[in-house]
Amino acid sequence: MHRENYMNALREDIVDTITRHLTPVAQRYGYSDMPLETNVKWRPMVLVIGNYSSGKSSLINEFLGAKIQDTGQAPTDDSFTVLTYDDSVPETEGIRVVEHRDGKVLLNDPEYPFSTLRKHGQRFAAHFQLKKINSPFLKNLAIIDTPGMLDSITERDRGYDYQEVIGDLAQKAGLVLVLFDAHKAGTVREAYKSIRDTLTAHTSEDRIIFVLNRIDECTTFNDLLRVYGTLCWNLSQITGRKDIPMIRMTYSSNAVAIKRDSASVPSFLPLLENQREDLKQTILQTPRRRLDHLATYLEIHGERLAHYIEALQAFGLEFQSFRIKKMFIGFLISLLGGSLISLIMMTLGSMAAPTILWSVGGVGAGLIMVLWLASVQKRLEYKFRTTRIENLDTLTPVADQTRKDSWSAIRDLVYQHLKKNKGDYSLYDLKLDRFNIRKVNDDATHEIREALSGFQSMSEDDLKKWGKDRLTREAHKKDFPQ
């Protein structure tokens, strides 16, 4: 209990830091339309994807301890289903669905982090749902079951872009399970695209776990080795990696129980029981790993946001320098023009007093300056902006790979923002915001990493003392708000 409280408190602190310090700046300068904490403010999520009939629903039902999701050899469910915890009904009364919400309600409920999925349209909303279940397995996490991937289904047939939805959900998830079954160790077209392109673009490799499911359907150990080898080869071709990613193996104990009655249970299954338990524990450790991911999320967006502001600041400095230079040129031209007007009038034998002649020249100079600012200056500034926006890659230095990755992530954002907005921000405000973001990023991430490092070695007594100290600090804040 104390460890759960510690993890929840640390998660809240990270989300609070993002909410108070990063999001206001990000939305002020167009780095993000949505609050940055939208993707991370809810509970840890496990995304389960795979070919149709790969056993996704059966595996989920086994973890939950009841038949919650429909199962079958043919595609049985074409919905994205969020499975989350509800304790209003005691589990002693039987594990079951306590509450059901459809996609339209779910996408517009601020309690959940799915509002960004509204962009996928009404067809997607009709295939999106949430089930609240009183299973203790879901106490600290949520599971997202997905439609099986096929060769014949296209995004147009589904009515929404399946890959984009998978990418958005993978970005929110703390863990992604990619399931294969013993009968189809190869990959269908949608699975190939998901593994090769979608997942790599929206999440990191350490969050992806490959699972060979339904291994009880291999009749002999040789069959299992053949299937496992085939899957390894396929994954190496898809990922393009020389090292084979780790593949966990599992099966449904319910299916094995049925086979046991017919005496057709493969003899090698007991040897792989530890694989099933390891997969289960890996999933249950998602909340702990989620803290690392949140810390990384804060670091990455803090660094990218600071780089983004740096780019706007660099553009602003160049534009300001260009503007001043051209205005100075316009000023010189106007002085020259005014002087010429006065000299011409004197040459033509004007009898006016010198002061009047120079006054006329001054008025002429002023008119020239106004025309310069209203016409020539604007055209020059427009040309500068257009040319500079089309050549952004020299805007900020990218000396190392970290900076290159950061620039690659924000370049299009900078481009789109500068095209829509003139970028006439206060350079002082940009400098101050950039300094504050870097300071928050350095200080907060240092404290969070220290807390995560110390968490592993903390005893129950340490955690209990920490809990009391935290309550004391919170009470002090309420009594003496800053």
Q: 434-477, pLDDT tens digit by residue?
A: 999 999 888 888 888 777 776 666 666 655 665 555 555 554 44
* pLDDT range class, residue 480, cuts 50, 70, 90: very low
As given in the structure block, the two tokens for residue 280 are 């289960």
Edge-first strand order for the sheet with 45-50 is 97-102, 128-133, 80-85, 142-145, 45-50, 175-181, 208-213, 247-249
Same domain, 70 and 143: yes
Same domain, 249 and 198: yes
Q: 86-111, pLDDT tens digit by residue?
A: 988 888 888 999 999 999 888 988 88
Res. 240: pLDDT tops 60: yes
Same domain, 120 and 215: yes
Same domain, 370 and 415: yes
pLDDT at 464: 63
Res. 17: pLDDT tops 70: yes
Same domain, 18 and 115: no
pLDDT at 3: 67
C-alpha 249/C-alpha 273 separation (Å) is: 9
Mean pLDDT of all residues in the chain?
83
pLDDT at 267: 79
Domain residues for the domain of 29 are 1-41+291-482
* Residue range 272-279: mean pLDDT, rounded: 86
Residues whose CB falls within 8 Å of the CB of residue 240, separated by 6 or more in sequence, listed in order: none
Res. 300: pLDDT tops 70: yes
147-161, 192-206, 229-243, 377-391: least confident range: 147-161
Q: 171-224, pLDDT tens digit by residue?
A: 889 899 999 887 766 666 777 788 888 888 888 888 899 999 888 888 888 988
C-alpha 47/C-alpha 143 separation (Å) is: 6
Q: Which of 265, 284, 303 is the last residue of a domain?
A: 284
Supply the DSSP symbol for 390: T
Question: What's CA 175's distance to the chain center, in Å?
Answer: 13
Query: In terms of C-beta density within 10 A (0-12 exposed, 13-18 middle, 19 or more buried), how is residue 278 classed?
Result: middle
Query: In terms of C-beta density within 10 A (0-12 exposed, 13-18 middle, 19 or more buried), how is residue 415 classed?
Result: middle
Phi and psi at residue 50, to the nearest 5°: 165, 170
Higher pLDDT among residues 350 and 79, named by residue: 79
Looking at 244-353, list the stretches that DSSP marks H as alpha helix, in order from N- to C-terminal side: 253-261, 273-284, 286-347
For residues 255-270, one letter each, b for 16 or more C-beta atoms within 10 angstroms of the residue's C-beta and e for the rest, the string is: beeeeeeeeebbebbe
Same domain, 237 and 352: no
Q: 346-371, pLDDT tens digit by residue?
A: 776 655 566 776 777 788 888 989 99
* Residue range 232-251: mean pLDDT, rounded: 79
CATH number at residue 98: 3.40.50.300
pLDDT cut 90: percent of the chain above it? 30
Contact 193, 223 (CB under 8 A): no
Q: How many structural domains comprise the chain?
A: 2
Tokens 């962009």 belong to residue: 119
As given in the structure block, the two tokens for residue 307 are 């780089």
Q: What CA dihedral angle connects 273, 275, 281 and 287, to 10 degrees? A: -160
Same domain, 169 and 116: yes
Q: Which of 284, 314, 345 is the last residue of a domain?
A: 284
Same domain, 323 and 465: yes
Same domain, 101 and 69: yes
* Residue range 368-381: mean pLDDT, rounded: 91
Same domain, 221 and 304: no
Supply the DSSP symbol for 220: S
Higher pLDDT among residues 478 and 201, named by residue: 201
pLDDT at 380: 93
Same domain, 1 and 66: no
As given in the structure block, the two tokens for residue 137 are 């397995």
Q: Which of 284, 302, 317 is the last residue of a domain?
A: 284
pLDDT at 185: 62
95-99, 157-161, 382-386: least confident range: 157-161
237-246, 411-420, 422-431: least confident range: 237-246
pLDDT at 74: 52
Same domain, 166 and 262: yes
C-alpha 371/C-alpha 196 separation (Å) is: 57
Q: Which residue type, as a one-letter code, is found at position 27?
A: Q
C-alpha Rg value of the chain to the nearest Å: 31
pLDDT at 450: 79
A 10 A CB-CB count for 155 gives: 13
Q: Which residue type, as a one-letter code, is found at position 275?
A: Q
A 10 A CB-CB count for 176 gives: 24
pLDDT at 420: 84
Tokens 């106007």 belong to residue: 334
* Residue range 315-328: mean pLDDT, rounded: 92
A 10 A CB-CB count for 119 gives: 13
